[in-house]
Structure 1
């Protein structure tokens, strides 16, 4: 098997796939390395999730994305991106995790849990869904607590507390309530998040106002026990009977991995990685960033629809560099 490439792409999500397509079209040798299945992050999204973006905005390489509704659901996206990979016979290694990336002279040495590779360039398109933002309270490690939500059926007839006010938290609250869960929302701010999908926000507000879903605003969790949940509210501490906790407080990129690569991060809370927006090349020569990872902690700034342009930008930049060698 070839282990010397023009490009190694770390991450087999939509943007990593887009980079692979561009590399193939331009005659560059490449391999995509993905630690899970094709579009691993999308696979781990909630079963019934519907995208905020319309299907045409999720398209890559001008390949049509046909969905039943204007805004596609998770299963349709999985079908779309999987067919792109298989129909174009992209060179992708699945269930292979990158360990270290070391630059030596003009090449990168990439070591995974299955093989070693040499590459003239590396593209990091790893997204941000791997590491949840912890709430850092006693009991967070209990089996009843999860930072990922999959299927509402699991919580039927259970007392479920959901921590958060973003799209993931609100979707989970509505779905689980409709499957028979007794849902309580713990919201740090004074209201439901303003970036919640516009067709969903009125629904959750109505359910809260009618009392179907309980919500505590300006509140935060202080401790979790096997049978209860303690929260701090403007009216003081409240202890709730509780079976399960979904702490859907967002996710963040693997900053340690980026720093181990030598990528500089801003010193503020945003932790923005250093790169040239005209080429997407980081401060490490030959190492490029693509997709949502470019936003650091501002994970709401980059989506599939506005970062798919990174693929042609990066591949064109690499082509120009290779001409000069």
Structure 2
């Protein structure tokens, strides 16, 4: 009986401390929670502009938007931006006015992170933007958000090492967590590479001439439901940059507190921990897969991991 009890205790300990693969699978499930069981997806209303589907509106948000019939037409079937708003400028101004009023009413927690930064809203990234909206408010309408992330790496004695940053403790989101070497959202009026070069300079003091050598290597895409509600469909444009062995990133605008140069086995372990900003952990995981550090013969959930990094928005 004592032996059986001991085995039961050991089994409980194993369940309480899942292995790396299971932790990464859980990360990918969380970051794709909009597609999972129990998701509010079926209850969200499509958000349309000029007949084009651009987002998903939670029921609680739709109820609030009914107060603004001059800007939003809310029915049982969808939420539509008023047809009377015909231009990018008119739509942007009208939506901004509503969002500022909701912010002043403290209607939704995400509006406490107001940035005075506009994101373009369009059905697909290649489409002309239909309007711009405050970055902090985008989860209320479930519109797609885009960013650029940099994997910075170097070689020492034949070993590949990766540069990571640790976010400043005063960051409004994910303070103190590990992050890619440089990353940032793509604001209205900026291109993908332009955003990347800007973030490299601001966050890690990487000269523009060096940052411009970064190679685009694809995207990481996912959609999750925020802990306080809201829908987050996101696409990160991913770049790899091989840095000179003697290059040392420097803290720039204060969004990062320090940088680390780690061997890939240490990066891998961090990906499976709570110490890494979730979407940046996905970008680092994508790097390890693309560079062959994670092998399909050795990782039984290889296909699931690849698919979890590239869900359709």
Q: Normalising by structure 1, what TM-score?
A: 0.23
When you count helix as a share of all residues, which structure comes out higher?
Answer: 2
Q: Normalising by structure 2, what TM-score?
A: 0.24
